[in-house]
Amino acid sequence: MTDRPRAAALELLRAVREDEAYANLALPQIVHGFGLTGRDAAFATELSYGTLRGLRWYDAVLAECVTRSYDKVEPAMKDVLRLGAHQLLAMRVPAHAAVDSSCTLARDLGAKPGADARAGFVNAVLRKVAQRDAAEWAAQLQRDADPDDPDWLGVRWSHPTWIVRAFRDALGPRQAELIDVLQADNAAARPSLVARPGRMTSEELIELPEVDPGRWSPLAGLLVEGTPDMLACVRDGRAGVQDEGSQLVALALTRVEVPDDHGRWLDMCAGPGGKAALLDGLAQERGGSLLAVEQHPHRAELVTRSFAPGSASRVVVGDARHAPWGDELFDRVLVDAPCTGLGALRRRPEARWRRTTADLAALGGLQRDLLRTAVSAVRPGGVVGYVTCSPHLAETEFVVADVLRGRDDLQLVDARPLLPEVEDLGDGPTIQLWPHRHGTDGMFLALIRRSG
């Protein structure tokens, strides 16, 4: 009989591979369809997400164990082998259970006449995998490779080589932390919650038995187990699901000194509404309001729903590059720019395999256009917060430097003193958060004040 949690994990791998599904959206539907709850749902999540994160590493190990070319193994069989390899090398699953359950999955893949052959193939390959643990396989595969070579590190820690190089460059003089970054991407992140100002206090949030205090943000809580939607405060909008890094960069923008702040705030890329909901609550407490801009109507509707009942904030559907707010100027402007999302790979297990260097070129022009529009929309004395969920220099420092070049009326504000709760924020004036240092997504923040 097929093991339902493992069958669900195999179905997710198929959906990601064939349908280009997003794992975080597809898995809840698959889990529900297989009738999984509790430990079975958690097992399916760890098995599928862990396998997706580790694809490059598991493929390298499996290629050593297949007598024919691994490239010629059919994709569905590769998925079965990858699930088995993850159980053997990264989970506390007995070898016989990992191998036997994988053989069962292989039998169920296709027509009955070939079932025994498929199972026999999987059995032979995975028994070879089981002969070594992860450290022994690393020693076997490294052979003569330089241990610091980005290509080898990409194999061992299952990242595309170009991302390894990007992280190394972004770390600068702290490149010794590179393996820590890669390992952090491969560790599941606990769901982070935010108590939305004016609707719920952080004290009320962390008093819930299912929630622990956050590490840095005064508004954060960490879910102990289960899923966020099991909490009434999440279902009714008093709390939201939001990484602490996202909370911190939004809070920094609200804490920077702006003389004569009249509470006219702008969020230029507001969908799906996490930071907008936080800014809306804080603006309301100060007697102000937020104008949120979102290009896509369905995401704009999500932003509207995120606002507090009776909020004076509003949403405009339009392209922020073309300033749909007209000639209005704002005290504080947030540009949470579309980016590669390399700072959130731990939460999006398939994303590392879908992004390419071509995305940097496509996004770079958009990021610069948005930031240029933002500095035109902020009033003299006001501040723009440029944010990305990526540490890639092409999406962070280089964008800011290009926009500031030749502009005497724009100055970077040191963002570090605005987050006194947070340790190890670097040399400034910008901030780069890291999963391995801060336990957050890799959020970048530059604060830019317009003078004159």
- Where in the sequence numbering do the catalytic residues fall? 389
Contact 438, 385 (CB under 8 A): no
Is the distance from CB of 416 to CB of 431 less than 8 angstroms? yes
Which among 150, 166, 174, 178 is positioned nearest to 398, based on CA atoms? 166
Q: How far apart are CA 97 and CA 84, in angstroms?
A: 9
Token pair of 180, please? 């820590």
Residue 375 C-alpha from the chain's centroid: 27
Task: Enumerate residues 6+ apart whose C-beta is below 8 A from 390.
Answer: 339, 340, 341, 342, 343, 396, 442, 444
CB contact set of 200 (below 8 Å; sequence gap of 6+): 233, 238, 239
Residue 344 contacts residue 393 (beta carbons within 8 Å): no
Contact 31, 41 (CB under 8 A): yes
| Residue 191 DSSP label | P
- Among candidate residues 351, 242, 388, the one with its CA nearest the CA of residue 22: 351
What is the secondary structure of 160-198 as a DSSP string?
A: -HHHHHHHHHHHGGGGGGHHHHHHHHTSPPPPEEEE-TT
Token pair listed for 94: 């007995």
